[in-house]
Amino acid sequence: MTTASTTTAEKAFTEELNAPFTITPEMVDFFSEYGYIKIKNVLSSPLLKFYGNVITSEVKRLNTLEKPMEERTTYEKAFLQIMNIWRENDTVKDFVFSKRLAKIAADLMQVNGVRLYHDQALYKEPSGGITPWHADQFYWPLDTPKTITAWIPFQDTPMEMGPLAFAEKSQSVEIGRDIEISDESENILQEELRKRNFNMNDTPFELGELSYHAGWLFHRAGPNKSTKPREVMTMIYMDKDIRIKKPSNSYQVNDWNSWCSGYPIGGVPEGPLNPVLYER
């Protein structure tokens, strides 16, 4: 492809990333009730291929986890995890700062705007293990549940690759909110969710299909039994007016310093790491 055509393609991708995507009242109602939603045809295949290649290159460059799979912890087996790639690469920044994706987050949460908490690539390698049951907001020192994660696969993701699975309607249940991702969380939460009869949605993802899930929704992923990596990018958004709460565990202390620039308790995390990506 010539330089001129590359520039034309990238311009078209930028326009797509920033063009509005219609979220219907029925979608908002589904998200409010079930704590997640899967939406098809949000992004085009050429766009996902282009940005997927760029993000994959950055994951390979920035990854420091070199241990053989058999020597890793359960968490390390789950995925290669690289955060805040937008600060490393301007092309990745264009993807992470997508107004289309941020507006979907704001629409689903019914807020006037969203900030970025951080991005993270989650690449489950061939033979990579399960991602145990957990709720993301266990790690976040934020004072309301107005948080949401966009999960964006860069390939069709059949069951053998370990697509994300959701415990429907579990976002309001006061169980397991003090448990980190681990073998323990998998065992305890699996039993608790079974006893409370939560339905699990563990269906495959088509290319272009994204999910959004609430910060307190319990979710997991199976192992990658395929011969290819499961390449996924995520963006975590928060209500633009959310405030920092006093951390309740050591992970929240780390997140407070790492992703919220150490902004004071009770304050809005409005530093350079947490820009407003969409505002009505």
Per-residue pLDDT at 75 exceeds 70: yes
Among 6-15, 182-191, 207-216, 242-251, the range scoring the smallest mean pLDDT is 182-191
CA 260 to centroid of chain Cα atoms: 17
Mean pLDDT of 196-224: 95
pLDDT at position 1 is 42
Encode pLDDT of 121-173 as tens digits: 999 999 999 999 999 999 999 999 999 999 999 999 999 999 999 999 999 88
Work out the pLDDT band at 262, boundaries 50, 70, 90: confident
Q: Please name the residue that has the structure tokens 């039993």.
A: 191
- Token couple for 181: 């991702």
pLDDT at position 179 is 72
d(CA 107, CA 28): 7
Mean pLDDT of 52-71: 93
Mean pLDDT of 215-220: 95
pLDDT at position 197 is 86
pLDDT at position 4 is 53
Encode pLDDT of 96-105 as tens digits: 999 999 999 9
Would you say the pTM of this structure is higher than 0.85? yes
Say which CATH class 3-65+76-266 falls into.
mainly beta
